[in-house]
Amino acid sequence: MPAADLAADLRTLWRMLRGQPRQGRMAERLQAFYAPQAERYDAFRAGLLHGRQEMLARLAIAPGSKVVELGCGTGSSLEFIGGTVGQLASLSMIDLCPALLAVARRRAAEWPTVQVIEADATHWRPAQPVDFVFVSYALTMIPQWAEVIDNAYAMLKPGGRLGVVDFHLPASGSRLGNWFWRKWFGHDGVHLSGEHLTQLRRHFTVHFCAERRATVPYLPGVQAPYYLFVGERPPATGD
Ligand SMILES: C[S@@+](CC[C@H](N)C(=O)[O-])C[C@H]1O[C@@H](n2cnc3c(N)ncnc32)[C@H](O)[C@@H]1O
């Protein structure tokens, strides 16, 4: 790895070791945490945030669709969606952190149908119902994550699909393992829960669901638990 990249990774690790600030409004805490990491965010998180491309492939976003991403960060999903971005009716990318949104705006500049919006994923809504919503590693950063699931449900058309990928505490995990991951991630404001899948299954008809583990950069010998979920909003009662 080039020395400059290693130095940037070390700065990111230092920020992560110091943890997410505990004081202030959520947007200010996110900005303080992410601003020093924003330019190197994608390279570092590539080795940590597994399954994003697979979740999007399984979500199967169709050309002509209206799409929302909640908690878009730097907009790296644009790379994963690829050429289909240009064929979408619209893609609204929502986040609360200005430093990461600045990177997302640069990335989105070539796509006239992509809007990058500073807003809270618990209550921002599009003007019209949409066909697809996805959330990648953001539910664990939002204490009111259940409200984000409710919000995604509310903004989807009946038959529309939600894709989620995130860390979690698996029911099959050992007590010690789940304790370790809860502490390790909690330090950086990432709050692991065993409840996401229960809540997602309650709202959506399951198309795909998998629980997995994957490596963590600079933490040899351990694998963090994460899940992939794709579900459909059932037709409204009486349809
Ligand atoms: C771990 S990052 C994931 C970013 C991106 N989805 C990815 O997969 O690379 C979590 C993101 O959630 C955003 N976030 C946290 N709370 C939020 C909220 N209430 N509303 C919108 N975004 C939020 C953070 O600013 C951050 O960009």
Host H or E run for residue 130:
strand 130-136
Query: Mind listing the domains of the chain with CATH numbers?
Result: 3-232 (3.40.50.150)
Q: Are 108 and 84 in contact (CB under 8 A)?
A: no
Query: 237 C-alpha to center of ligand 1: Å?
Result: 33
Where is pLDDT greater, at 6 or 166?
Answer: 166
If you measure from the C-alpha of residue 71 to the centroid of ligand 1, how many angstroms do you get, rounded to a whole number? Answer: 4
The alpha carbon of 134 and the centre of ligand 1 are apart by a number of angstroms equal to 12
**Protein residue with its CA nearest to atom 4 in ligand 1:** 73
Structure tokens at 63: 């050309």
**Is residue 239's pLDDT more than 50?**
no
Give bridge partners of residue 70 from the DSSP assignment: 94, 135
126: Cβ contacts below 8 Å, ≥ 6 apart: 66, 68, 92, 155
Cα of 238 from ligand 1 centre, angstroms: 36
Say if CB 115 and CB 109 are below 8 A apart.
no
Atom of ligand 1 nearest to the CA of 72: 6
Q: What is the pLDDT of residue 81?
A: 93
**Main-chain dihedrals φ then ψ at residue 134, nearest 5 degrees:** -140, 155
Cβ atoms < 10 Å from Cβ of 110: 10
The atom of ligand 1 lying closest to the CA of 135 is 6
Percent of the chain's residues with pLDDT above 90: 71
175 CA distance to ligand 1 middle (Å): 28
Q: What is the pTM of this model?
A: 0.89
Q: How many residues does the chain have?
A: 239
Work out which ligand 1 atom sits closest to the CA atom of 120.
Answer: 20
For residues 81-94, average pLDDT:
95
pLDDT digits (tens, 9 = 90+) for 6-46: 666 666 666 566 666 667 788 888 888 778 777 777 777 88
CA distances from 209 to 99, 155, 200 (A): 32, 21, 10
Q: Please tell me what DSSP assigns to residue 137.
A: S
Q: Which tens digit of pLDDT belongs to each residue from 170-225?
A: 999 999 999 999 998 988 889 999 999 999 999 999 999 999 999 988 788 889 99
pLDDT at 42: 79
Q: Which atom of ligand 1 sits closest to the CA of residue 30?
A: 25
Which residues have C-beta atoms less than 6 Å from ligand 1? Answer: 26, 30, 45, 49, 52, 71-73, 76, 94-97, 100, 120-122, 136-138, 141-142
Report the separation in Å between the CA atom of 159 and the middle of ligand 1, taken as the mean of its atom positions: 26
Could you tell me which of 4, 17, 2 has the C-alpha nearest to residue 218? 17
* Residue of 29, 92, 103, 137 best suited for mutating to test ligand 1, as the one with most atoms within 8 Å of CB: 137
Asked if residue 114 has pLDDT above 70, the reply is: yes
